[in-house]
Amino acid sequence: MKRRLLHVLTAVTVVVAGSAVVAAPASASDMPGTVCHLRENTWLRAAPLGTVQLTLTAGRGFRWHGARSWEGTEVWIYGHGAEYPSVDGWVPARNTTCSI
């Protein structure tokens, strides 16, 4: 009887711990801004048309902080990807689902 009770308590503990992990919401960071998605793999740049900092993966979230720049005919937006929430930079708006 003690062994069966131990098995039941172990199973309940695993289920409760798993539920707590699933309940945590996913987000890019606590920074203000609009979350949208990347349409394709995209370089995050230090400035529009500037040095590439890193590559963000298609389908992942991108938090746009509201800053935009026009370089010629292309619109660039400032923010960070879900993969690197501590690195802000610029991406072409056409590579995202963000409404400009």
Q: What tens digit of pLDDT does each residue of 75-97 get?
A: 999 999 999 999 999 999 999 99
Q: CA–CA separation, 23 vs 17, rounded Å?
A: 10
Least confident among 7-11, 12-16, 58-62, 79-83? 12-16
* DSSP labels, 26-87: P-S-SSSSEEEEBSS-EEEESSTTS-EEEEEPTTSEEEEEEEEEEETTEEEEEEEETT-TT-
Enter the pTM of the model. Answer: 0.68
Going 82 to 84 to 87 to 91, the CA torsion angle's sign is negative
Token pair, residue 52, equals: 């590439």
Q: Which of 32, 82, 88, 77 is nearest to 60 (CA)?
A: 82
Residue identified by tokens 């131990």 is 6
Assign 1 a pLDDT band (cuts: 50, 70, 90).
Answer: low
Q: What tens digit of pLDDT does each residue of 37-88 get?
A: 999 999 999 999 999 999 999 999 999 998 888 888 899 999 999 999 999 9
| pLDDT value, residue 29 | 56
